[in-house]
Amino acid sequence: MKFLLLFSFIFLVLFSFVQTVFPQVRLSEIMFDPVGSEYTDEFIEIYNRSLSDSINLSGWKIGDEKSLDAVTEAGSGLVLAPGQYGLILDPGYFTHSTAYDSRIPPGALILTITGNSFGSGGLSNSKPETVYLVNAAGDTVDAYRYTLDNPPGFSDEKINMNQNSNTNNWKNALILNGTPGYLNSVARRTQDVALIAADWDSLQVRNGGAFSPLFRIKNAGTVSASGMNLAVYEDKDFNEEFETSEIIFQKAVPETLSAEDSLALKINLGKLAPGLHRFKAVLNWASDENIRNNFLLFKVPVKFLPHSLLFSEIMYRPAAGSPEWVEIKNVSGAAVRLYRWYFSDENTNRAGEVFRDPVRLQPNGYVVLAQSEIPDAPDSLRSREIIVPNWPTLNNSGDEVWLFDPAGAPIAQTDYSIQPLTPAGFSLERMEFAIDQADSDAWGVSRIAGGTPGSPNSINPLFVDGVLDCAPENDPVKVYFKDSVIVNFLFKNEGRRKIGESRVKIYEDRNQNGAFEPEEQIQEESFCSETLNPGDSVNCSVYLDGLSSGKHSLSAFWEVREEQNPADNRVSFFVWRGFPESAVVLNEVMYDPRPGRPEWVELFNPGAEAVSLQDWLICDTRKALGKGAFRPPSFILPEDFKVLTRDSSFFTVYPDVDKDHVLVDKNFPTLNNSGDSLFLIDLSGATIDSLVYRSAWGGQNGRSLERIRSGNSTADSTNWSASVAESGCTPAAPNSILLHTEASGNWLTIAPDPFSPDGDGRDDFVTFTIQTKFPTAVAELKIFDSVGREIRRLLANQPVGSRYECIWDGRDVSGKILPMGIYIAYLEIYVNQRKQKSTKKVFVLAKRM
């Protein structure tokens, strides 16, 4: 008996200790600085951490050091259930605010206080205060002194409800307006993986070495995690968005991570081109409950070669009312993308950022950095004139100008204090680009007042200097398949001697290594059989032969004898050659799906070669190609399909369709149920196929509109009908009403015979195949019933050539299906308005019994 009494006493003491250290009801969230009114939108959240016991809050109080207010019910009582959140709202909220109404879950217990505001005049957001939770016995159950490092609208949240209220167990909320009445945003999730760091040898990458980032992945949840995937994006178009087409690396993470474990995953992205690269790494896991910690954004600068760009002109002493400026020339021999570079005078600590928007500078191209807009400059300069904020004033008595690349490496530098003094309004021009830029012989005073910004300098040129200039105005050059590929160049003699006969060589970067090698030469043309005098220029069109459909990276090199500056004899450009009409056709349209299901369009490749759909568009208006456009970076194989849709729910609705046959893009156009236009545009801007459908053709109420024959015209309404598949459609599969007709060599062939237009998907249409000996034949095709009455004229003065197919659905001119019986097809063939042949054939319209 004494033992039992002792045991009971020890148990009560331990239970009391546990309840004191870890009370059943805890403070869980404090909104002391709301976005809305502080008189209505402050709140304090509490939590019952018991798994089994409810607690009655009658007589409980809450407040600050100076004042406590009684907790009172707000319509749902005062009993806080196990695992339930209690949300104590300011009394003014119920009459003057709705800020949290959409966020508060139904399971939260809504409470308020008897006073007008929390504590003594509300929760302060100018000094920290301690919030106290006191039970009915007057004991302090919990207390927390909040901090003031929160932006407005972000509460203080407790991390772990089973730990004390020390400062290290609280964090700023991750969500604006907090988490009133539900799990805190900083609370540990059951399933949560995080991408916590990316490390690489920045010095090695900066100097042109391989970029091999090491990613650190952590399981921040409480259960094991497997089946993760790491994807790396590069913002190649510098639009500050990371699109699916910009994924450069993707890999499954094979390891299973236990809770709190981490791993390092190293990948190799090869050498990066010089410039600033923007990356986003994303850790994907389907079970993740917290995706805020699943991505990293980082920038990687890579140095350019020194002197790949040079200062070619400096206006440090402008005329009154004109700005200072410097001109930069690309002498690298390759196009350079200028983005996030830096410019300064001799005080390099004040270097300011320039090229905040990307600028592509062609070989031998110029760009001008100016204090302000240069007056009276030619219009051609405006696109190459960059206004520099916080321009460093250049000293007339001498100064230095510096250009740094995104990696901070100095690329160009000129000290013009050792150069000739220029009169006001005259620039300092570079005379020679092949010698040391610090040499005074490299510079001279411009011969032209105002200088030559954005144009070749006016002072003495080299003896032999041919310049291939004026890269195609539209780069890429887009050419329809039916048109010849013509590229226009401007050949200029900027040297002191005449240029005689020379040659132009065209190269294609077939191995896509960024270089144009001798074995990649595809064409050579003679140029300038007559001499080109110094200062003269001539435009020349070059016809490029044998370019297939698709994208081509090309370079033209002007080979001039005894050339002293070959760096400006090359121009790189792209040609996008279009595809033949109907290389890919519109094959099936789901424009009126069942509720909750996605719209989609199916494409079909009827040819024998795969077709790249990269930079193609699908849109519902030819006049606004940039709107509602779809740009699928994918291939469509011969005799294969590709489905285009806006909604990834397609995979749920059609689970049997191979994902490789589906392209999802948010810009897919919305299809009208009553009828709409669809245009399939290739990379050259040519319309490869188009369709103007009407609801009367079929395909409503969850059934797609299917093409009957891929070889017949898309625009022919008789070549389309509603799907008869049991599911209502056939995405990425042969159409349910597809017809196959074999040629017989006769003038008129009818198949199938008999046919039964009863909508069951079998023999619903009859095909009349006309074969003639005349490529310019014209046909009349009439249908007669068994007593000789004409009941339908299918062709009237229709050009049919040597072969033509006509489809009939068994309906008369009013749209009614004719009765079953024997019918006669009567064909007349004309050439140059003279009848060459007439024939008739009997066939049967049947119905299934």
Among residues 328, 301, 537, 294, the alpha carbon closest in space to that of 413 is found at 328
Q: For residue 220, what are the contacts with CB-CB under 8 A and spacing of at least 6?
A: 188, 189, 192, 193, 194, 260, 290, 293
pLDDT the model gives residue 658: 92
pLDDT the model gives residue 28: 97
Among residues 80, 301, 103, the alpha carbon closest in space to that of 202 is found at 301
Mean pLDDT estimate for the chain: 88
CA distance 378 to 748: 69
Q: Is the pLDDT of residue 417 over 50?
A: yes
pLDDT the model gives residue 322: 93
Q: For residue 82, what are the contacts with CB-CB under 8 A and spacing of at least 6?
A: 48, 50, 51, 52, 53, 54
pLDDT the model gives residue 537: 87
pLDDT the model gives residue 447: 83
pLDDT the model gives residue 15: 37
pLDDT the model gives residue 20: 42
pLDDT the model gives residue 86: 97
585-722 has CATH 3.30.70 classification: no
| Residues 776-813 as b or e (16 or more Cβ within 10 Å = b) | ebbbbbbbbbeeeeeebebbeeeebeeebbbbbebeee
Residue 769 three-state SS = strand
The 10s digit of each residue's pLDDT in 390-413 is: 899 999 989 999 999 998 899 999
Query: What is the average per-residue pLDDT within 808-818?
Result: 91
Contact at 8 Å (CB) between 676 and 657? no
pLDDT-derived band at 344, boundaries 50, 70, 90: very high
pLDDT the model gives residue 5: 40
Q: Is the pLDDT of residue 134 over 90?
A: yes
* Radius of gyration of the chain, Cα coordinates, nearest whole angstrom: 39
Question: Which tokens go with 376?
Answer: 């009276």
pLDDT the model gives residue 215: 96
pLDDT the model gives residue 671: 92
Q: What is the DSSP letter of 835?
A: E
Among residues 51, 93, 102, the alpha carbon closest in space to that of 75 is found at 93
pLDDT the model gives residue 810: 94
Sign of the Cα torsion 199, 204, 206, 210 reads: negative
Q: Is the pLDDT of residue 17 over 60?
A: no
Sign of the Cα torsion 514, 519, 523, 524 reads: positive
Query: What is the average per-residue pLDDT within 424-452?
Result: 78
CATH class for domain 193-302? mainly beta
Q: What is the DSSP letter of 524?
A: E
β-pair partners for 392: none
Query: What is the average per-residue pLDDT within 468-484?
Result: 79
pLDDT the model gives residue 330: 92
SS3 content of the chain, % helix, strand, coil (to 5): 10, 40, 55
The 10s digit of each residue's pLDDT in 272-298 is: 989 899 999 999 999 999 988 999 999
Q: Which of 492-496, 508-512, 652-656 has the highest average model confidence (pLDDT)?
A: 652-656
CA distance 149 to 172: 8
The 10s digit of each residue's pLDDT in 71-105 is: 999 999 999 999 999 999 999 999 999 999 999 99
Q: Which of 20-24, 185-189, 273-277 has the lowest mean pLDDT?
A: 20-24
The distance from CA 19 to its chain's CA centroid, rounded to whole angstroms, is: 55
The 10s digit of each residue's pLDDT in 292-340 is: 899 999 999 999 999 999 999 999 999 999 999 999 999 988 889 898 8
Among residues 642, 643, 648, the alpha carbon closest in space to that of 598 is found at 648
Instruction: Enumerate the domain spans of the chain.
Output: 22-172, 193-302, 309-445, 466-561, 585-722, 748-845
Q: For residue 421, what are the contacts with CB-CB under 8 A and spacing of at least 6?
A: none
Contact at 8 Å (CB) between 453 and 315? yes
CA distance 135 to 116: 20
Phi, psi of 8 (to 5 degrees): -65, -40
CA distance 483 to 56: 84
Beta strands at 366-370 and 385-387: parallel, antiparallel or unpaired: parallel
Query: What is the average per-residue pLDDT within 460-483?
Result: 79
The 10s digit of each residue's pLDDT in 726-761 is: 889 999 999 887 765 444 447 899 999 999 998 888
Q: For residue 340, what are the contacts with CB-CB under 8 A and spacing of at least 6?
A: 276, 353, 355, 356, 406
pLDDT-derived band at 211, boundaries 50, 70, 90: very high
CA distance 531 to 498: 6
Query: What is the average per-residue pLDDT within 175-203?
Result: 92
The percentage of residues in the chain with a pLDDT greater than 90, rounded to a whole number, is: 55
- Could you tell me the CA-to-CA distances from 607 to 5, 616, 636, 709, 710 in Å, in that order? 93, 17, 10, 14, 11
Domains 22-172 and 309-445 share a fold: yes
pLDDT-derived band at 382, boundaries 50, 70, 90: confident
Question: Which tokens go with 758?
Answer: 């009863």
The distance from CA 617 to its chain's CA centroid, rounded to whole angstroms, is: 14
Query: What is the average per-residue pLDDT within 526-547?
Result: 82
How many of the other CB atoms lie within 10 Å of CB of 828?
16
Q: Is the pLDDT of residue 142 over 70?
A: yes
Burial class for 416, CB neighbours closer than 10 Å (0-12, 13-18, 19+): buried
Contact at 8 Å (CB) between 43 and 63? no
Q: Global pTM?
A: 0.47
Contact at 8 Å (CB) between 42 and 129? no
Q: Determine the length of the chain.
A: 849
Q: For residue 300, what are the contacts with CB-CB under 8 A and spacing of at least 6?
A: 200, 202, 205, 211, 272, 276, 277, 279
Sheet with 766-771, edge to edge strand ranges: 748-751, 766-771, 803-808
CATH number for domain 466-561, candidates 1.10.3470, 2.60.40, 1.10.1060, 3.30.70: 2.60.40
CA distance 568 to 557: 9
Give domain 22-172's CATH superfamily: Lamin Tail domain (2.60.40.1260)
pLDDT the model gives residue 849: 56
pLDDT-derived band at 14, boundaries 50, 70, 90: very low
Among residues 106, 112, 70, 69, the alpha carbon closest in space to that of 87 is found at 112
CATH number for domain 748-845, candidates 2.60.40.350, 2.60.40.4070, 1.10.3720.10, 3.40.605.10: 2.60.40.4070
Question: Which tokens go with 754?
Answer: 């008999």
309-445 has CATH 2.120.10.30 classification: no
Sign of the Cα torsion 442, 444, 450, 451 reads: negative
- Could you tell me the CA-to-CA distances from 319 to 307, 316, 350 in Å, in that order? 30, 10, 26
CA distance 399 to 414: 9
